[in-house]
Structure 1
Amino acid sequence: MDKLQAMEIFVQVVDAGGFTRAAENMQLPKATVSTLIRNLEQELRVKLLNRTTRQISVTPDGAAYYERCQTILADVRDAEEALSQSKSSPRGRLRVEVPTALARTLIIPALPSFYERYPEIELEMGCTDRTVDLVEEGVDCAVRGGDLADSTLVARRVGSIALATCAAPSYLALHGTPTHPNDLLAHRCINYFSARTGKVHDWIFARGEERLQLRVPGRIAINDSNGYLAAGIAGLGVGQMAAYMVKPYVQTGQLEPVLTDWCSNVIPMHVVYPQNRHLSAKVRAFVEWVSELLADEDRMRTGLHDCPNRKALLADAAQADPATA
């Protein structure tokens, strides 16, 4: 029995949720798939799958074996890729996770340039603001901002995102325009909280030698960037959002920057991947492309308002960042 083929078929059966769809995906007869899984179970002397007339489910032994199979098959693919003569043209499936707003506003619109450079990569992109378990969910790498709590991951710094403090004209007409960060303590603000910890994020400002870190009051807290933006446009309060995300709405007058003589916080951005996986050609290609994209965004964000203290905030972020670069 070809053990690698049997392992690959087993992974396909689990992913597809049944023999029929797995056989269709692999363009094999269903009987062949069923026979190979049965032979694999006999050789391993364990039951990998519970079978009924309607569905299959993975046994505890099967779940453990599935995880090991994924790792082994990924290592085999990476080894073949590393030995390939076409190293400059990585190929195959690449599963990535990116924050929702970053995907919608920057990454997805720029994907034509990615495919021009890497036409043989099959990209599967999950868009979410939650912290995904890369190993459990079979993700090759993820783009993450801010503090990196999971020390089991390797992180590569790919850039930074500046925040801008904004509010809808309707809100400012009713409540006035803050002229100092401390004025926010008497305003309604839109808070952002971590989907992982539930912690509400502080707001950070810098001007000259001054540094302020505030826990601002608010009647609403949101953990999704698109929802957060919608709340700001709806006039629910003052918000602190990624400058690249709010720039189009400032240009159309739906949002107005406030406290423009103060620099808002700078969020370091990383691509993270599991420690037990070396940086494959596919992941390396994505890392390099995202780095270029965010470096270009560095120039774009100055169109909102310039920040003379941006370098200081970047230095603060780098000093507080425990991740490897």
Structure 2
Amino acid sequence: MDRLDAMRLFTRIAELGSFTAAADDLNLPRATVTHTIKRLESRLGAQLLQRTTRRVRTTRDGEAYYSHCVRLLAEMDAVEADFREAAVQPRGRLRIDVPAHVARQWLIPALPAFFARYPALELDIGTGDRFVDLLREGVDCVLRVGKLPDSNLVGRRVGTLQQMTVASAGYVRKQGMPQTLAELQNGHYAVNWASPTTHRSEPLEFMVGRKRREIAMPGHVTVSGVEAYLASCEAGLGLAQFPVYRVADAMANGTLREILPATPPPSLPVTVLYPSHRQMPARLRVFVDWMVALISKQL
């Protein structure tokens, strides 16, 4: 294995925290992985990785070497990409993750046109609300709605989603239609949303002019999945807040009613995220450009 391949192997072990996971990711025998790292450490005269029973971690020397590897490999990838893309159509497989409703309503219906333009590409599409660790899970990019935690990922803003506060028609008949924010904490309930990342219940948010106001409300149920959140609201278990497009059908057929339209929730940012230290390959760049154009038309 040459030095560049050894560097790529080392970076994947550092990112995945496992010799076995890196071997599987790069389709290499475990013995080759172990032997290559031993030779690399011997050549450098430094221990790069510290093995424990559960995980492989980089040493201080390993962290420094990892930073150099990432920079050098990115530069090499950029040079090669410039030459390949001039003559070769983007090809290969991409792993992406998007919210389930976005995939069903916007992304997947448009894929036939995408594949007609890029027939050599393949997509592995994950859907869900959970946090995705792109580096450790080998995911190329994700589409996320809402506030983003601090990370080393590159974020490309697609647009924003308008939101509304809603309750079921049955809830309004039983509990009444609140007329002010102050009434929400007197005889009203919320379907509480627990962040899949922090697992903490989050308050409802309202815009009063240009100021954001948070109101924590009592509730009989707490959920961390979008489908469960919507189903609980439709069942009359309390108020909830959704992007407008997500509840448009339920609003049209009268299943849901809008609450306090004069003080709507703040808009949600929509962002495409991908790893910052990788040179973006052609297949990822064309997909991100296409998805940004597609989703931005819907917002």
Is contact 1:95-1:124 (8 Å) kept? Answer: yes
Give the corresponding residue for 1:235. 236
How has the CA–CA distance of structure 1 residues 95 and 137 changed in structure 2, closer, same or farther, with 3 Å as cutoff? same
Partner of 1:79: 79
For the 8 Å contact 1:167–1:256, the answer to whether it is kept is: yes
- CA displacement at 1:237 relative to structure 2: 0.7
- The equivalences for 1:138-149 within 5 A come to 139-149=139-149
Map of 1:203 onto structure 2: 205
Matches of 1:282 and 1:276 in 2, distance apart? 17
SS at match of 1:218: coil
Q: C-alpha displacement at 1:241, in angstroms?
A: 1.0
Call closer, same or farther: CA 1:88–1:172 in 2, change over 3 Å: farther
Q: Partner residue of 1:170?
A: 170
Which amino acid letter does the alignment assign opposite residue 173 of structure 1? R
Deviations 1:241-281 (A, max 9, x none): 1222223444565x313238546332122223455456554
Q: Which range moves more in the overlay, 261-270 or 84-93?
A: 84-93
Supply the AA of the counterpart residue of 2:157: R
Q: In 1, Cα distance between the equivalents of 2:80 and 2:192?
A: 47
Distance 2:94 2:147 in 1: 25
Q: May I ask how many residue pairs the two structures share in their alignment?
A: 292
Paired residue for 1:218?
Answer: 218
> Does structure 2 retain, via aligned residues, the 8 Å contact 1:168–1:256?
yes
Aligned to 1:292: 293
- 1:36–1:131 distance in 2 versus 1, CA, 3 Å: closer
**Structure 2 CA distance for aligned equivalents of residues 98 and 289 of structure 1:** 14
Query: How far apart, in 1, do the equivalents of 2:276 and 2:70 lie?
Result: 15
Offset of residue 37 of structure 1: 4.8
Letter in 2 for 1:76: M
TM-score, normalization by structure 2: 0.70
| CA distance in structure 2 between the aligned counterparts of 1:252 and 1:285, rounded to whole angstroms | 39
Deviation at 1:166, TM superposition (A): 2.1
8 Å Cα contact 2:99/2:129 also seen in 1:
yes
Amino acid at match of 1:58: V
2:56 maps to amino acid? V
Query: 2: distance between equivalents of 1:18 and 1:35?
Result: 11
Aligned pairs (5 A) from 1:1-325 = 1-9=1-9, 22=23, 26=27, 36-45=36-45, 58=56, 60-61=58-59, 64=63, 72-73=72-73, 75-86=75-86, 89-99=89-99, 101-103=101-103, 105-132=105-132, 134=134, 139-150=139-150, 153-186=153-186, 187-194=188-195, 195-196=197-198, 198=200, 200-205=202-207, 213-219=213-219, 220-250=221-251, 255-259=255-259, 261-262=261-262, 264-265=264-265, 266-277=267-278, 280-298=281-299
Query: Quick one: which amino acid aligns to residue 206 of structure 2?
Result: I
Assess, with a 3 A threshold, how the Cα gap between structure 1 residues 257 and 87 changes in structure 2: closer, same or farther.
farther
**Aligned CA distance change for structure 1 residues 68 and 101 (closer, same or farther; 3 Å):** farther
Scaled by the length of structure 1, what TM-score is found? 0.66
* CA apart distance, 1:31: 6.6
Q: 1:69 to 1:109 in 2, by over 3 A?
A: farther
Q: Contact 2:178–2:260 at 8 Å: present in 1 too?
A: no
Q: Which residue of 2 aligns with 1:306?
A: none
CA RMSD of aligned residues (A): 4.5
Q: Which residue of 2 aligns with 1:316?
A: none
Aligned residue for 1:257, secondary structure, equals strand
Moved more, 132-141 or 142-151: 132-141
Contact 1:143 1:272 in 2 (8 A): yes
Give, in angstroms, the shift of residue 211 of structure 1: 6.9
**C-alpha contact 2:97 2:143 (8 A) present in aligned 1:** yes
Look up the equivalent residue of 1:168 and give its one-letter code. S
CA distance in 2, matches of 1:290, 1:155: 14
Shift in Å at residue 240 of structure 1?
1.0
> Which amino acid in 1 is paired with 2:258?
V
Q: How high is the sequence identity, in percent, across the aligned residues?
A: 34
Please give the alpha-carbon distance, in whole angstroms, between the structure 2 residues aligned to 1:133 and 1:109.
27
Query: Using the alignment, how far apart are the partners of 1:198 and 1:181 within structure 2?
Result: 23
Relative to structure 1, the CA distance from residue 198 to residue 78 in structure 2 (aligned partners, 3 Å threshold; closer, same or farther) is farther
Q: In structure 1, what residue type is equivalent to 2:159?
A: G
Gaps of 5+ in 1: 299-325
